[in-house]
Structure 1
Amino acid sequence: MALPDPLAEKILAISKQAGDKIMEIYEKDFAIYEKEDTSPLTEADLAAHNVIVAGLEAVSHLPILSEESADIPWDERRGWDKYWLVDPLDGTKEFIKKNGEFTVNIALIENGKPVMGVVYAPALKRSYIGIDGQGAWIENEAGFAPISAKKHADGEVWKVVGSRSHQSPEIQKLLEDLGGEAELVAMGSSLKLCLVASGEAHLYPRLGPTSEWDTGAAHAVATAAGAKVTVLDGANPLAEDAPDLTYNQKESVLNPYFLVSA
């Protein structure tokens, strides 16, 4: 099948080109880099960044905010109503551990909201695509399939996504507060949000630091799949009126703590 938006097809292709560059480095012996006093992570990040920026500039005239070019002054950024938000390589610990759970992330942000996103995990050969108002899909070696978030049912075990690399006592307390039985599902990088989007988990509470480029693309996938991404501000995290996580609304690119829920 083809995606319903030709631009999304182009963004998916760009993410795969960046993923190819990352895999060229990922498949090398990292010990070689240590002898040369260089970082495979830095090389992979920059290689993917260059591919993505060149690709986006070929299909769009919108500004680009990437983790690898994040020093754009707030006075300039605050005037952007539509822009590309990019993390060329999310999941640094997963990349170094070589467990495959790292991603290329490209999001289209409009008026503070992610309206299109592609998350590509090159080592897993898996993509997640979300388009506001049109739906969300997973693509793997079997092709495209639609995905949707799955609500928790009474009596069902809560499946809660947690970081493979960053566990915290706060997560354990939230599991206890949910009541009933809860199962922690470990995952790295932005794939954590995608597990809620695909119905493989009910919740992903993020109670640690993230930047906007870490979440933008997967946020678009999650909301297109019917999930919510809301700010954890001390009130009931599952409240219907919890504020949505937004982008480029302040000088800092750090996100508040947030919850992805079905």
Structure 2
Amino acid sequence: MLNKVIKLAEEAGEKIMAFYALDIKVDRKDDNSPLTKADLAAHHHIVDGLKEIDPDTPVISEESGVPEFSERKDWDRYWLVDPLDGTKEFIKKNGEFTVNIALMVNRKPVMGVVYAPAMNLMYYAEKSLGSFRRQKAEGRSEQTERIFSEPVDKSHPIKIVESRSHGSPELEAYLEKEGFNVEERVKSGSSLKICLVADGTADLYPRMGPTMEWDVAAGDAVYRYSAEDGIFESGIEYNKEDLLNPSFVIGLG
């Protein structure tokens, strides 16, 4: 099933890239967040594809609306999708946007695919297999490698990844309170931030601002299964009554 989901993410990425070179028309959702035709095209392709791959499993997508908690509270298995994570980065045309597809079982991601089509970069993970990064650089053959991360070590200077769009005084307060010596800051968009911890590019991703469950589930899977032994717990809870996430920190192990 993983290979089918990877292919589905790639196809959704192609849908998104068809709009990338055009003048991007931006609408606004009820919460004032941006919405483009690329979001909707990817959404419909993924939802339709998942119905073919796994017809008996419900899907929650950012663009489909959220079923009432009374309906979904007892779900033991469902798909959680952000068809275009990082819409702001898509509009800015900086390449740092992703397709996120996660399979949730017992409120935890057991499979995740994060695809950045403008960067030809794919991260994917499955509980039974581990986490992987696949990169296709211009003029080079495609390279796939297993990725690992380690829990952050406070006794050494660290590298953090932070949002390109969301800096915050709360982040600085957290770093000072915990006594981290930050030697480098990597700015990135979308769920790539979580993946950069999973592949060891950064040591820590503290997120002090709001996110939704579909923003992080696929990246969370990539992080969880990047442990050499066992599983890293992210501390993120899923299928809550309100899908808004509180602050979290990726990289503590």
Q: Do they superpose with TM above 0.5?
A: yes
Consecutive unaligned residues of structure 1, counting only runs of 5 or more, are 1-6, 231-243
Shift of 1:156: 3.4
Out of 101, 104, 112, the position equivalent to 1:106 is 101
| Superimposed CA distance per residue, residues 89-131 of structure 1 (whole angstroms, 9 cap, x where no aligned partner) | 0002101110000000000000011000000000001000011
Paired residues for 1:22-171 under 5 Å: 22-30=16-24, 33=25, 41-60=35-54, 61-141=56-136, 142-153=142-153, 156-171=156-171
Aligned mates of 2:159, 2:50 — CA distance in 1 = 36
| Superimposed CA distance per residue, residues 69-94 of structure 1 (whole angstroms, 9 cap, x where no aligned partner) | 12311111112110000000000210
Out of 217, 242, 249, the position equivalent to 1:252 is 242
Consecutive unaligned residues of structure 2, counting only runs of 5 or more, are 137-141
SS class of match (2:118): coil
Aligned mates of 2:129, 2:182 — CA distance in 1 = 34
CA contact (8 A) 2:225 2:232 kept: no
Match of 2:139 in 1: none
Amino acid in structure 1 at the alignment position of 2:111? M
Aligned mates of 1:163, 1:121 — CA distance in 2 = 16
CA contact (8 A) 1:228 1:260 kept: no
CA contact (8 A) 1:171 1:205 kept: yes
SS class of match (2:133): strand
Name which of structure 1's ranges 168-177 and 87-96 shifts more when overlaid on structure 2.
Answer: 168-177
CA contact (8 A) 1:136 1:224 kept: yes
Amino acid in structure 2 at the alignment position of 1:63? P
Amino acid in structure 2 at the alignment position of 1:197? A
SS class of match (1:174): helix
| Superimposed CA distance per residue, residues 161-203 of structure 1 (whole angstroms, 9 cap, x where no aligned partner) | 1100000011122233334343221110000000000001111
Aligned mates of 1:41, 1:70 — CA distance in 2 = 14
Provide closer, same or farther for how the CA distance between residues 152 and 29 of structure 1 changes in structure 2, counting only shifts above 3 A. Answer: same
Amino acid in structure 2 at the alignment position of 1:172? E
CA RMSD after TM alignment: 2.0
SS class of match (1:69): coil
Provide closer, same or farther for how the CA distance between residues 94 and 214 of structure 1 changes in structure 2, counting only shifts above 3 A. Answer: same
Shift of 1:152: 3.9
TM-score by length of 1: 0.85
Match of 2:225 in 1: 224
Aligned mates of 2:236, 2:118 — CA distance in 1 = 29
Aligned mates of 2:236, 2:21 — CA distance in 1 = 36
Amino acid in structure 2 at the alignment position of 1:256? P
Aligned mates of 2:247, 2:232 — CA distance in 1 = 14
Shift of 1:153: 4.8
**Identity, % of aligned positions:** 49
TM-score by length of 2: 0.88
Amino acid in structure 1 at the alignment position of 2:15? K
Match of 2:188 in 1: 187
CA contact (8 A) 2:152 2:204 kept: no
Shift of 1:38: 9.6
Match of 1:239 in 2: none
SS class of match (1:10): helix
CA contact (8 A) 1:41 1:96 kept: no
